[in-house]
Amino acid sequence: MDNRLTNTQCRKSDKLIIKIIETYDPVKDKFRLGKIYLEITKADMVRVFGINCGDEFVSLRSGCTEAIKFIARREIEETQMTTTSVKQLLIEYVLKDEFEYVEDVARLLCLFLSHTFFFPTGTTVKWVHLERVENLDKTMDYD
Protein backbone atom coordinates (compact mmCIF):
# COMPACT_ATOMS: atom_id res chain seq x y z
CA MET A 1 0.00 0.00 0.00
CA ASP A 2 2.90 2.35 -0.80
CA ASN A 3 3.92 2.60 2.88
CA ARG A 4 0.57 4.17 3.81
CA LEU A 5 -0.21 1.48 6.40
CA THR A 6 1.54 0.95 9.71
CA ASN A 7 2.56 -2.48 11.01
CA THR A 8 -0.31 -2.32 13.50
CA GLN A 9 -2.80 -1.76 10.68
CA CYS A 10 -1.43 -4.83 8.86
CA ARG A 11 -1.80 -7.28 11.75
CA LYS A 12 -4.28 -10.13 11.46
CA SER A 13 -7.53 -9.42 13.18
CA ASP A 14 -10.45 -11.81 13.51
CA LYS A 15 -12.80 -8.87 12.88
CA LEU A 16 -10.97 -8.08 9.65
CA ILE A 17 -11.07 -11.71 8.53
CA ILE A 18 -14.82 -11.79 9.23
CA LYS A 19 -15.31 -8.61 7.19
CA ILE A 20 -13.42 -10.15 4.28
CA ILE A 21 -15.47 -13.36 4.48
CA GLU A 22 -18.68 -11.32 4.60
CA THR A 23 -17.81 -9.72 1.24
CA TYR A 24 -18.05 -13.12 -0.44
CA ASP A 25 -21.17 -13.55 -2.58
CA PRO A 26 -21.88 -17.30 -2.94
CA VAL A 27 -24.38 -16.71 -5.76
CA LYS A 28 -21.81 -14.92 -7.92
CA ASP A 29 -18.91 -16.94 -6.43
CA LYS A 30 -16.96 -13.69 -6.10
CA PHE A 31 -15.89 -11.16 -3.49
CA ARG A 32 -17.64 -7.79 -3.44
CA LEU A 33 -15.38 -4.74 -3.23
CA GLY A 34 -17.73 -1.77 -3.19
CA LYS A 35 -19.63 -2.01 -6.48
CA ILE A 36 -17.08 -4.30 -8.09
CA TYR A 37 -17.11 -8.10 -7.90
CA LEU A 38 -13.72 -9.78 -7.84
CA GLU A 39 -13.11 -13.40 -8.69
CA ILE A 40 -10.06 -14.93 -7.04
CA THR A 41 -8.78 -17.70 -9.26
CA LYS A 42 -6.40 -20.58 -8.79
CA ALA A 43 -3.84 -18.61 -10.83
CA ASP A 44 -4.21 -15.68 -8.40
CA MET A 45 -3.46 -18.00 -5.48
CA VAL A 46 -0.38 -19.29 -7.30
CA ARG A 47 0.81 -15.70 -7.82
CA VAL A 48 0.07 -14.63 -4.24
CA PHE A 49 1.68 -17.61 -2.50
CA GLY A 50 4.27 -18.52 -5.14
CA ILE A 51 3.33 -22.19 -5.22
CA ASN A 52 1.98 -24.42 -7.94
CA CYS A 53 -1.33 -26.15 -7.46
CA GLY A 54 -1.96 -29.74 -8.35
CA ASP A 55 -5.20 -31.16 -9.64
CA GLU A 56 -6.07 -33.59 -6.85
CA PHE A 57 -8.58 -32.69 -4.16
CA VAL A 58 -7.20 -33.03 -0.63
CA SER A 59 -9.39 -35.52 1.14
CA LEU A 60 -9.87 -34.97 4.85
CA ARG A 61 -11.22 -38.47 5.40
CA SER A 62 -9.00 -40.11 7.90
CA GLY A 63 -7.81 -43.65 8.04
CA CYS A 64 -6.59 -45.19 11.26
CA THR A 65 -3.54 -43.90 13.09
CA GLU A 66 -1.95 -47.35 12.79
CA ALA A 67 -1.71 -46.80 9.03
CA ILE A 68 0.34 -43.61 9.34
CA LYS A 69 3.93 -44.71 8.83
CA PHE A 70 5.35 -41.63 10.56
CA ILE A 71 3.67 -42.61 13.85
CA ALA A 72 5.11 -46.11 13.74
CA ARG A 73 8.52 -45.02 12.45
CA ARG A 74 8.98 -42.41 15.19
CA GLU A 75 7.05 -44.35 17.85
CA ILE A 76 4.67 -41.48 18.55
CA GLU A 77 2.56 -42.36 21.59
CA GLU A 78 0.41 -39.23 21.94
CA THR A 79 -3.30 -39.73 21.44
CA GLN A 80 -3.41 -36.38 19.67
CA MET A 81 -0.89 -33.92 18.29
CA THR A 82 -0.87 -30.19 18.91
CA THR A 83 0.94 -27.37 17.19
CA THR A 84 3.26 -27.30 20.21
CA SER A 85 4.08 -31.02 19.96
CA VAL A 86 4.68 -30.72 16.20
CA LYS A 87 6.99 -27.79 16.85
CA GLN A 88 8.86 -29.74 19.56
CA LEU A 89 9.31 -32.75 17.24
CA LEU A 90 10.48 -30.46 14.48
CA ILE A 91 13.11 -28.89 16.73
CA GLU A 92 14.19 -32.32 18.01
CA TYR A 93 14.51 -33.83 14.52
CA VAL A 94 16.33 -30.82 13.05
CA LEU A 95 19.05 -31.31 15.65
CA LYS A 96 19.53 -34.98 14.71
CA ASP A 97 22.59 -35.57 12.61
CA GLU A 98 21.10 -38.50 10.74
CA PHE A 99 19.93 -38.47 7.14
CA GLU A 100 16.87 -40.61 7.94
CA TYR A 101 15.33 -37.61 9.73
CA VAL A 102 15.53 -35.24 6.75
CA GLU A 103 12.23 -36.32 5.17
CA ASP A 104 10.46 -36.36 8.54
CA VAL A 105 11.64 -32.80 9.14
CA ALA A 106 10.16 -31.89 5.74
CA ARG A 107 6.90 -33.64 6.67
CA LEU A 108 6.68 -31.88 10.02
CA LEU A 109 7.54 -28.53 8.46
CA CYS A 110 4.79 -28.96 5.84
CA LEU A 111 2.38 -30.04 8.56
CA PHE A 112 3.26 -27.15 10.87
CA LEU A 113 3.18 -24.48 8.16
CA SER A 114 -0.06 -25.65 6.60
CA HIS A 115 -1.75 -26.04 9.97
CA THR A 116 -0.72 -22.62 11.24
CA PHE A 117 -1.67 -21.05 7.89
CA PHE A 118 -5.07 -22.70 7.45
CA PHE A 119 -5.99 -23.10 11.14
CA PRO A 120 -4.20 -20.20 12.88
CA THR A 121 -6.25 -20.39 16.07
CA GLY A 122 -6.42 -24.20 16.23
CA THR A 123 -4.15 -26.05 18.60
CA THR A 124 -5.03 -29.67 17.81
CA VAL A 125 -3.51 -31.14 14.66
CA LYS A 126 -5.67 -33.86 13.19
CA TRP A 127 -4.00 -37.11 12.23
CA VAL A 128 -5.47 -36.84 8.74
CA HIS A 129 -3.17 -33.88 8.05
CA LEU A 130 -0.16 -35.99 8.96
CA GLU A 131 -1.48 -38.66 6.57
CA ARG A 132 -1.50 -36.10 3.74
CA VAL A 133 2.20 -35.25 4.15
CA GLU A 134 3.41 -38.84 4.55
CA ASN A 135 4.10 -39.13 0.82
CA LEU A 136 6.06 -35.95 0.09
CA ASP A 137 5.97 -36.50 -3.67
CA LYS A 138 2.18 -36.73 -3.61
CA THR A 139 1.81 -33.37 -1.87
CA MET A 140 2.73 -31.72 -5.17
CA ASP A 141 -0.44 -33.21 -6.70
CA TYR A 142 -2.78 -31.55 -4.19
CA ASP A 143 -4.84 -28.51 -5.11
pLDDT tens-digit map of 46-83: 787 777 778 888 888 876 777 788 888 898 888 889 99
Q: Determine contact, residues 143/53, Cβ cutoff 8 Å.
A: yes
Asked whether the predicted pLDDT for residue 28 surpasses 90, the reply is yes
Q: What is the mean pLDDT of residues 83-110?
A: 91
Asked whether the predicted pLDDT for residue 2 surpasses 90, the reply is no
Percent of the chain with pLDDT over 70: 91
Which residue did the predictor score with more confidence, 1 or 134? 134
Predicted local confidence at residue 88, as pLDDT: 93
**pTM assigned to the model:** 0.66
Cα gap 72→57, rounded to integer Å: 26
Q: Residue 1's pLDDT band (boundaries 50, 70, 90)?
A: very low
Q: Determine contact, residues 118/133, Cβ cutoff 8 Å.
A: no
Residue 51 φ/ψ, nearest 5 degrees: -125, 155
Q: Both ends of the chain: CA-CA distance in Å? A: 29
Pairing of β 81-82 and β 36-38: unpaired
Cα gap 80→15, rounded to integer Å: 30
What angle, 0 to 180 degrees and rounded to 10, lies between the N-to-C axes of helices 102-118 and 83-94? 150
Predicted local confidence at residue 9, as pLDDT: 66
